[in-house]
Amino acid sequence: MNVQSVLSEQSIEPHKIGLRVEDFILLQESGSFNAFAKAELIDGDIYTVNAIHRPHAGILADLSADLVYAVRASGLALKVYTPVSTRLDDYNLPEPDLVIAMIEPEALVTGRSVRLAVEVSASSLDFDLGPKARLYARSSIPEYWVVDVAGRSIVQMTAPNEGVYSAIRDTPFGDRITLITIPQIAIDTTALA
């Protein structure tokens, strides 16, 4: 058998194999990501983020407190989680800064339970508005907010359709913002300003 015949018989090209959520959790439990503030699984790839600084942390704390109060006042059977690993499918386990989700018995928040996902962006704005937005839209998360720390606004995305959000609204810090998909939940963003 010559080299040419061997090459033609083995025409399988190298290809990437993405990690599954179960693989990622094993790595996480073994301490592989302890040096990072946050590790996420996006389309089978691991993404890490280093330390969270005061502007990000302060805005997240204020936003969390306001949304917890608003969710409780609404009387709806929802809960605010921050931050939380959210299983969207077998290859995606992002860790949004905050989610509002239905209460479920599972250990991980599931994509089907999420009503709002929020990313606070002090240094990851392009990623949160690009790949993350497409991921959440593809996973039918009904509403997604990107809190632009430098721009002092909240980008509110709704109506996921074929992997993109078809409705986008920008609300400056200091204004009132209402969840488009759950109008019973609204907050004043003055504390963020």
87 strand-pairing partners: 110
pLDDT for position 6: 47
Mean pLDDT across 69-75: 97
Residue range 31-68, pLDDT digits in tens: 999 988 889 999 999 999 877 889 999 999 999 999 99
What does DSSP assign to residue 133? H
**Helix or strand holding residue 166 (H, E):** strand 164-172
Residue range 82-107, pLDDT digits in tens: 999 999 999 999 999 999 999 999 88
**140 or 51, higher pLDDT:** 140
99: three-class secondary structure by DSSP: strand
pLDDT for position 32: 94
pLDDT for position 120: 96
Show contacts of 106-110: CB within 8 Å, 24+ apart.
109/81, 109/84, 109/85, 110/86
pLDDT for position 13: 77
Longest Cα separation, the chain? 76
pLDDT for position 133: 98
pLDDT for position 16: 83
- CA-CA distance, 137 to 123, in Å (whole number)? 22
The reported pTM is 0.90
